[in-house]
Amino acid sequence: MASKELGFIGLGNMGAPMAGRLVDAGYSLTVFDTRAAALEPFTARGAKAAPSPAAVASAVDTVLVSLPTPAIVRQVALGKDGVASGSKVKTFVDLSTTGPRAAQEIAAELATRNIVAVDSPVSGGVAGAKKGTLAVMVSGPKDRHDTLVPALQVIGKVFYLGDKPGLGQMMKLANNLLSATAMAISCEAIVMGVKAGLDPKVMVDVINAGSGRNSATQEKFPRSILPRTFDYGFATGLMYKDVKLCLEEAQALGVPMWVASAVQQLWLVANGELGPESDFTRVVEVLEKWAGVEVKAQN
């Protein structure tokens, strides 16, 4: 029977709601984050705060991490006072987006410490993390996947992609490339329509009733772009990172990515102009600036 004691490292926009759902489901968490304020809501609910990733990994046998970049995942897994230094940990579950090669390298290094790495990136945004409706993309040993399923089902729908390290990450990059592309091309199409005199809200309604509908027009435009709140909860820098990782993997595999290369250019410009911490829905502002219009519903 799977243990109800887990470690959780990284309590940010995605990590906090996922960890919160685990607490709601009766899991006892040992948590770590570099920000003391991120720990407080969890210690108030009975979680134990640890002073380092190594301390988390010395308290429990399964450690989940949700972190922003491959470099930070490597540091937390393998660096000084990292998970690999823990005395109890047997399974390292990475919910982050690192790319297949980073997942494979981390898995190989952890294996020398008798720690099994399971890459388990998630998709569905902050809203999905709060609702427990994320797509959870798991690759790693089947027996370890089977043990983890009860906990992972708390945060979303679990898909097992195979026992090879990095397959979950490859699936996540393919998904996020499509998400980034949908956002980029939807912004271009709707900015063009606004420039021609169309009401962007009517455009979105028509698109969502027709064949052009996609995740950007169905979710991002109505919720964060048309009302100009730009509060979807995912950073421009992270989207650019994911697209860049995807193209690097495609190049390594010898797969042409002509459309994706153009998409990457828009996210590169957005990352530079808006800043990596900006909400990724602000990418529309890059195109608005060039077109001299604003995508806002007409009264």
The residues that are catalytic are 172
Inter-residue contact 182 to 261 (CB < 8 Å): no
Inter-residue contact 195 to 293 (CB < 8 Å): yes
CA distance 286 to 269: 8
Per-residue H/E/C for the chain: CCCCEEEEECCCCCHHHHHHHHHHCCCEEEEECCCHHHHHHHHCCCCEECCCHHHHHCCCCEEEECCCCHHHHHHHHHCCCCHHHCCCCCEEEECCCCCHHHHHHHHHHHHCCCCEEEECCEECHHHHHHHCCEEEEEECCHHHHHHHHHHHCCCEEEEEEECCCCHHHHHHHHHHHHHHHHHHHHHHHHHHHHHHCCCHHHHHHHHHHCCCCCHHHHHHHHHHHCCCCCCCCCEHHHHHHHHHHHHHHHHHHCCCCHHHHHHHHHHHHHHHHHCCCCEHHHHHHHHHHHHCCCCCCCC
